[in-house]
Amino acid sequence: MSFTVSSASRRVAMAVLLGLAVLGGVIRYTAPNPSTLRDVGTLLLVLWVPAIGQLIGFLARKIPYSAPPPNEFAPASPFTPHLQADVTPLPLPGGLPPLAPGEQRCTVIVGRRGFTARLAQPVTQWWAAGGTQRAAIELLRPELARPHLAPGTGFHILAGTTAIARGEVSA
């Protein structure tokens, strides 16, 4: 036999636990100090802990969340460079990982932090040009990335999960 949990059954369970906790408090208050009855009252009094946890969880779910930050560039949005960098494509034995045609998105990795970015031209076209190039990079969340990308900072560029280039911020 299965038991379906509903909001009403949670309320009933919480009311029962709180009622037992109140009863335990009364027993503990009225029982003589070193007695088994006082110990039973203490055990019943502890039943408020899961009930309060449920109440806190219920109240936390009622707090409205703010809108999540963007995780993609808006479709057909104009390219707005946030930084210039001298970037050198890394030699990859198997070539670039499979990317969608015209894919401009990449990830800029600084230390252990990664920032979603896009290049001015498709990644495959940029990587095929080879050699050190000056690249314009647009950051999805520049307010978070700029403090970590000061001029002279070294970074890596990832396409998917593959490191495809190494660079240094120039401006």
Contact present, 157 and 107 (Cβ < 8 Å): yes
Q: For residue 1, what pLDDT is reported?
A: 64
Q: For residue 148, what pLDDT is reported?
A: 94
pLDDT band at 76 (very low <50, low <70, confident <90, very high): confident
Confidence check: pLDDT of 107 > 70: yes
The mean pLDDT of 56-63, rounded to a whole number, is 87
Helix, strand, or coil (residue 66): coil
> What pTM does this model have?
0.62
Q: For residue 100, what pLDDT is reported?
A: 83
Helix, strand, or coil (residue 109): strand
pLDDT band at 127 (very low <50, low <70, confident <90, very high): confident
Q: How many other C-beta atoms are found inside a 10 Å radius of the C-beta of residue 87?
A: 26
Q: How many other C-beta atoms are found inside a 10 Å radius of the C-beta of residue 68?
A: 6
Sequence-separated (6 or more) residues with CB below 8 Å from residue 84: 134, 135, 136, 137, 169, 170, 171
Average pLDDT, the chain: 88
Q: Which of 119, 150, 145, 147 is nearest to 133 (CA)?
A: 119
User: 85 exposed, middle or buried (CB, 10 Å; 0-12, 13-18, 19+)?
Assistant: buried
Confidence check: pLDDT of 85 > 80: yes
pLDDT band at 67 (very low <50, low <70, confident <90, very high): confident
- Rounded Cα distance, 131 and 17, in Å: 70
Residue with tokens 């498709």: 122
